[in-house]
Amino acid sequence: MAYNQSLSSEYPGYVVILIDQSGSMSGRFGGSTGGSKAEECAKAVNRVIREMGLACTAGQTIKNRCDISVLTYGKSGDTAINAFSGNLASKSVVTMEELAQNCLKVNTLKMKISDGAGGLVEVDEQFPVWIEPHAVGGTPMAEAFEEAYKLVDSWTKTHQASFPPIVINITDGEPNDQARAKTAALKLAQLETSDGNTLILNSHISESKAAKIELPASTNELPQGDNNAKFLFDISSELPPVMRERAGAVGYQPTPGVRGFVYNADAETMIRLLDIGTRAKLQ
């Protein structure tokens, strides 16, 4: 199938982000002295949502070129639930306009930018927050993919001419039931629009500083005997040409056959994978 449709107000895309917020996410990201995996994951998702909104803005007008859902699993027991709160708590599928109007808060961060003369100047940058960090409970990943199936199934029935949905799963560990999670993910990947099947991307994050694996094309590139790495590879979609092009634009060197999967990812790698998934066809 083609994967050629551009995202527009007439033919919006759909991104579903699944966030592992289990107890193990309280560990430090990549063995660093910075924030926890839960904190850094929430920052990355908020940043990418913000960038999606900016890409859908023309002047003062927000164009609904993409719908989004964010599901959390772990903090809610053996279920996956809407990760949005506040005014969006009852919205399972959210438009870009609704996102822009309903962030939880806006953080002000110090950023260094070029001063135009070879130096740097510190400025205040506004970062809206939609998703807050949590780390509690087990890892009901199967339930997350099953809930995503319901959302994607409903969305594709009314958006058959659109670019297919993209599901991005961020996790730091093995699911409670790996066999069930694999079955649910592969079933989800069979849902389609006239432009192609649903695409599933996986970002595995870690407390260690072990070598990361980025967009592998074969199980031969995975750590020998690592069952979790193989599981995540098996449920990750092969990237279509438009997404390989986007991967090249954000620093990867993808070859035909690569899958949307990174393992032992650091924060930068995780953000790049999110960028591939959320902006491949945003114009």
pLDDT value at residue 115: 64
Residue 4 lies inside a defined structural domain of this protein: no
Residue 79 lies inside a defined structural domain of this protein: yes
Cα dihedral 116, 120, 121, 122, rounded to 10, equals 140
Q: Give the closest residue to 148 by CA, choosing from 140, 138, 159.
A: 140
Residue 123 lies inside a defined structural domain of this protein: no
Residue 186 lies inside a defined structural domain of this protein: yes
Give, in order, the Cα–Cα distances in Å from 233 to each of 27, 71, 152, 220, 276.
24, 21, 21, 11, 17
Residues of the chain with pLDDT under 70: 1, 30-34, 110-115, 118, 120, 208-210, 280-283
Q: Say which CATH number the domain at 97 has.
A: 3.40.50.410
**Structure tokens that stand for 127 in this block:** 């970062």
Residue 183 lies inside a defined structural domain of this protein: yes
| CB 264 within 8 Å of CB 211 | yes
Domain count, the chain: 1
pLDDT tens for 71-106 read 999 988 889 999 999 999 999 999 999 999 999 999
Residue 26 lies inside a defined structural domain of this protein: yes
pLDDT value at residue 76: 82
Residue 6 lies inside a defined structural domain of this protein: no
| Domain that includes residue 163, residue range | 13-104+132-279
Residue 118 lies inside a defined structural domain of this protein: no
